[in-house]
Structure 1
Amino acid sequence: MAPPPRPVAEVVWKVHRALYTKTRGRIGHHFLGMTTLLLTTKGRKTGQQRSTALMYLEDGPGLAVVASNLGSDKPPAWWLNLKAMPAAEIRIGPERRVVRGRETTDDERERLWPRFVDLYPDYAEYERMTDRRIPIVMLEPA
């Protein structure tokens, strides 16, 4: 089954992010069978706070997220923001945490990628849609 068209997915995630924010995580932590967090980064160009909802996996003390951008050849803005300024905040349900983001090592990515694809098979399709290597980002306690 193919992933939803990009405009549809963008609207769904925008509504999801708004609900997550408005309800302070009471609605949105579990979404369409996925466990999600809300990542807030500082915009590298504007300096404004930007939030996005992402599916995550726990991995030791860190949380892993995928910078897929729905299979686009361009990386997601949140990943570019995080690379420019690794300090960020996450919300998991009502709980907030300060984190630092980094790209996983090759070994970490090799171990985590199959787990993400098992959890959300569209990631395999996103990987086929782009020539870029889709990063897995580790969000670790700051």
Structure 2
Amino acid sequence: MAEKIDVEKVLSDPDFAKYPDWIKTHLRTYLESGGEEGHLWPSGIKQGEGPTHIPTLLLTTVGRKSGKQRILPLLYGKVGADHIIIGSMGGAPKHPQWFLNLQANPDAEIQVGTDHYKVRARIAEGEEREKIWSHMLTIFPVYGDYQKKTERRIPVVVLEKQA
């Protein structure tokens, strides 16, 4: 198990203020509740009578340039024991910073609800990627729209738990 996140340290970091308001709200909620709240987050996608809540985790990486701890809430899926995250950045032309951080150092930590884990990231390729991508589209169909918006191939990242 990974160590619990120092909430005050994260929320008092000047870099926290740079996040968009919705990310700050989500991150604050997740951290301050210890994961009791924020794990299932309203996606804004209407299905039936109300919004669909999607599973989110907190990913902690080390900044490849700064060397500082970076933490961000991300949607996830599961395949077996592995957690899956998608480097979509809303279909932007560049990869998200967290993905570049994982490329530089694949060792990271995640918080899933109230549980904390050390993980190692790897990029899914080939048939594995296609199967996981299809699975992730069932969780968050908007990923398909994001892929259409960008020329880059959106990465599918597998987070494998470490001892």
Give the alignment's TM-score, normalised by structure 1. 0.89
TM-fit CA distance, 1:13:
2.5
Match of 1:74 among 94, 102, 109: 94
Which amino acid is 1:29 matched to?
Answer: H
Distance 1:133 1:11 in 2: 28
Distance 1:110 1:38 in 2: 24
TM-fit CA distance, 1:11:
2.8
2:104 is the counterpart of 1:94: no
Distance 1:61 1:20 in 2: 22
After the TM superposition, which residues 1-142 of structure 1 pair with which residues of structure 2 at under 5 Å, given as runs? 10-32=20-42, 33-142=53-162
Structure with larger Rg: 2
Structure 1 residues 87-123: Cα deviation after superposition (integer angstroms, max 9, x where no partner):
1000011110000001012111100112211221211
Which amino acid is 1:118 matched to?
Answer: T
2:3 alignment counterpart:
none
Structure 1 residues 43-99: Cα deviation after superposition (integer angstroms, max 9, x where no partner):
001111111111111112211110001110110100000110011000011110000
Unaligned 5+ segments in structure 1 are 1-9
Report if aligned partners of 2:77, 2:139 keep a CA contact under 8 Å in 1.
Answer: no
Which amino acid is 2:23 matched to?
Answer: W
Calculate the aligned-residue CA RMSD, in Å: 1.4
Identity of aligned residues (%): 40
Unaligned 5+ segments in structure 2 are 1-19, 43-52
